[in-house]
Structure 1
Amino acid sequence: MPLPALRQRLQNGAPVSSSWIGGTDPLIHEAFLRADFDAITFDVQHGLLDETSLKLGIERAAFLGRPALVRLPIEDLSLAARTLDWGASGVILPMVEAVEDAARLVAATKYPPLGQRSYGPTRTGVLHGYEDRDDYVVDARNETFAFAMIETAAALEALNDILALDGLDGVFVGPSDLSIALAGDGTRSPRGEKTESAVRRVSEAAASAGKISGIYAATPQDAAHYRSLGFRLICIGSDLGTIQAAANALAKAARE
């Protein structure tokens, strides 16, 4: 099947909800892919995924018709391009602090004339059913995404310049790191007053720039709150956290 169509929904329709995956087990990946999420996001920055488990996860997503996004390790632009060649629909680059950082992301992930992504869509062409790889390139210009994470004070300062960058599809907020950066004493408070003000600012600035706003939500309640603020892409919870909570609930229920 062709690359999953996401852009129109992200820009104009209902918010897109994504699972957040850090583990390597393909059966867990499949369970979340079969759940009622719109997409799946693999967290390579803090998760346990290596290149093999990531590649297999992206393939499973393609087989099941779900768009796969990848949060990269810091500054790993070579993996950014590779994940797209493996079939991913988009990448999220953490710790972007300046427009130059975002520009390097665009260069690595966008085909010319927007960027300098090297031509080699062999595997993604097979996964998404393109007999002519050039047809994939045409679709990829519209249906692959590059998101810059906003999670530092410097990123907030450069927010408008980052959002103005041609080829950058949007920004993605990491509330925990952003709260630590704004606290001044290293305190984490993702729903604290300073963080909330910054989160609103990001959503509003992205909307004004015509770009997509995304955010990580630790709980369904957080997700509902961020939807109310206008965020378009919301990644919720985590696979490992969900499994641990379910295991604890099951054990507790068995003792009652």
Structure 2
Amino acid sequence: MNGPENKQTFQPAFGLACCLLGRAESVLLARAAGFGFLVIDMEHGPLGLDALGQAAAAGLAVGLPVFGRVTGPDSPDVARVLDCGAAGVIVPHVDTPRQAAAVARACRFAPIGARALPGPLPALGYRVLPAADLAREAEVGTQVIAMIESAAGLENAAEIAAVPGIDMLMIGSNDLADGLGLRGQLGHPEVAQAFARIAQAAQAAGKGFGVMGLPPALVPELAVALGAGHVVATNDTNLLAEGGAALLRTLEASLADAR
């Protein structure tokens, strides 16, 4: 946990999730806006591995980490996200340590896991390396992220965080509140307690902590104050819908004032 003297200066990396805009240009737009990382969301929407690969390649070229969110622990794309150049894989709906162990096994090379050895990797500049060197270098910086989004995941958070090969616990805010019977009530005290419990579980295991889906007003309390290193601030769908609506309200108010 960050001490009081650090809370004023600590700032997480803020990310943008893409549910619709999977082109490589999205990486440049996100970087120009100041986001610290991009998530290609393959759970909600039409984007798939092709979009992930294009975005990851662009991210590698310009130095912006691109993560891929798959559909769940049983997704066949868990390790392929890494093979396609993503800086990490975000796995939603991890409810048990057994599921977390299966994810780590798929994503980590032996001896921690059993990830199949690929050919030259985009993350390593497609250099042709001996298998041992490829596996060792590919592990550097790779993030395997388990999302906690249910009452079961909350109950098992400490055991999930302790699984070797898992690097971060990330809360799916809306699904977690929903799973606690508090749909849409992200400001509820029980939701805040759940956030704190998950953050503590991650920190006790020496793992990272991240948050996705919080409204901006709750980010200081439920992300920054709890030591979140990664916060997915919004997604392209909300950014366009909410930003567009705000722009139209501003224009309509300007026209009304001019009449």
TM-score, normalisation: structure 1: 0.86
Cα distance in structure 1, aligned partners of 2:134 and 2:141: 10
Q: How does 1:37-186 map to 2 (within 5 A)?
A: 37-125=35-123, 128=125, 130=127, 132=129, 134=131, 135-183=133-181
Match of 2:26 among 28, 47, 50: 28
> Which of 185, 203, 207 is the matching residue for 2:203?
207
Give the alignment partner of residue 239 of structure 2, picking from 206, 226, 242: 242
Conserved? CA contact 2:15–2:37, under 8 Å: yes
Contact 1:43 1:49 in 2 (8 A): yes
Q: Mark the runs of 5 or more structure 1 residues left unpaired by the alignment.
A: 1-12
Query: Mean Cα displacement is larger for which, 59-68 or 22-31?
Result: 22-31
AA partner of residue 151 (structure 1): E
- Write the distance in 1 (CA, Å) between the matches of 2:22 and 2:92: 24
Contact 2:209 / 2:228 at 8 angstroms: preserved in 1?
A: yes
Q: What RMSD in Å do the two structures reach over aligned CA positions?
A: 2.1
Task: State the distance in 1 between where 2:218 and 2:137 align.
Answer: 33
Structure 2 CA distance for aligned equivalents of residues 222 and 171 of structure 1: 18
1:192 paired with 2:188, answer yes
* Structure 1 counterpart of 2:225: 228
Partner secondary structure for residue 122 of structure 1: coil
Paired position in structure 2 for 1:3:
none
Q: Aligned equivalents of 1:121 and 1:232: distance in 2?
A: 32
Q: 1:122 to 1:170 in 2, by over 3 A?
A: same
In the TM superposition, residue 247 of structure 1 has moved relative to its aligned partner by: 1.8
User: Are the equivalent residues in 2 in contact too, given 1:33–1:61 (CA < 8 A)?
Assistant: no
Structure whose alpha-carbon radius of gyration is higher: 2
Alignment deviations for residues 39-72 of structure 1 (CA, whole Å, 9 cap, x no partner): 1111111133122222212222112111111111
Q: Indicate whether 1:17 and 2:17 are aligned.
A: no
Q: Distance in 2 between matches of 1:39 and 1:92?
A: 13
Q: 1:217 to 1:177 in 2, by over 3 A?
A: closer
Query: Any idea what SS the aligned residue of 2:190 has?
Result: helix
- Find the aligned partners of 1:244 and 1:38 in 2 and give their Cα distance: 22
Partner-residue secondary structure (3-state), 2:76: helix
**Gaps in structure 2 of 5+ consecutive residues:** 1-9, 255-259
Q: Deviations for 1:144-184, whole angstroms, at most 9, x for unmatched residues?
A: 1111111111112212211111111121111111111112x
- Residues 210 and 25 from structure 1, CA distance in 2 versus in 1: closer, same or farther, beyond 3 angstroms? closer
Q: 1:130 & 1:223 partners in 2: Cα distance?
A: 40
TM-score by length of 2: 0.85
Matches of 1:106 and 1:90 in 2, distance apart?
A: 12
Q: Percent identity?
A: 26
Contact 1:21 1:29 in 2 (8 A): no
User: Residue type matched to 1:40 in 2?
Assistant: L
Query: One-letter code of the match for 1:43?
Result: D
- Report the equivalent of 1:5: none
Look up the equivalent residue of 1:177 and give its one-letter code.
Answer: D
Q: Distance in 2 between matches of 1:29 and 1:76?
A: 28
SS in 2 for 1:188: coil
Question: How many equivalent residue pairs?
Answer: 241
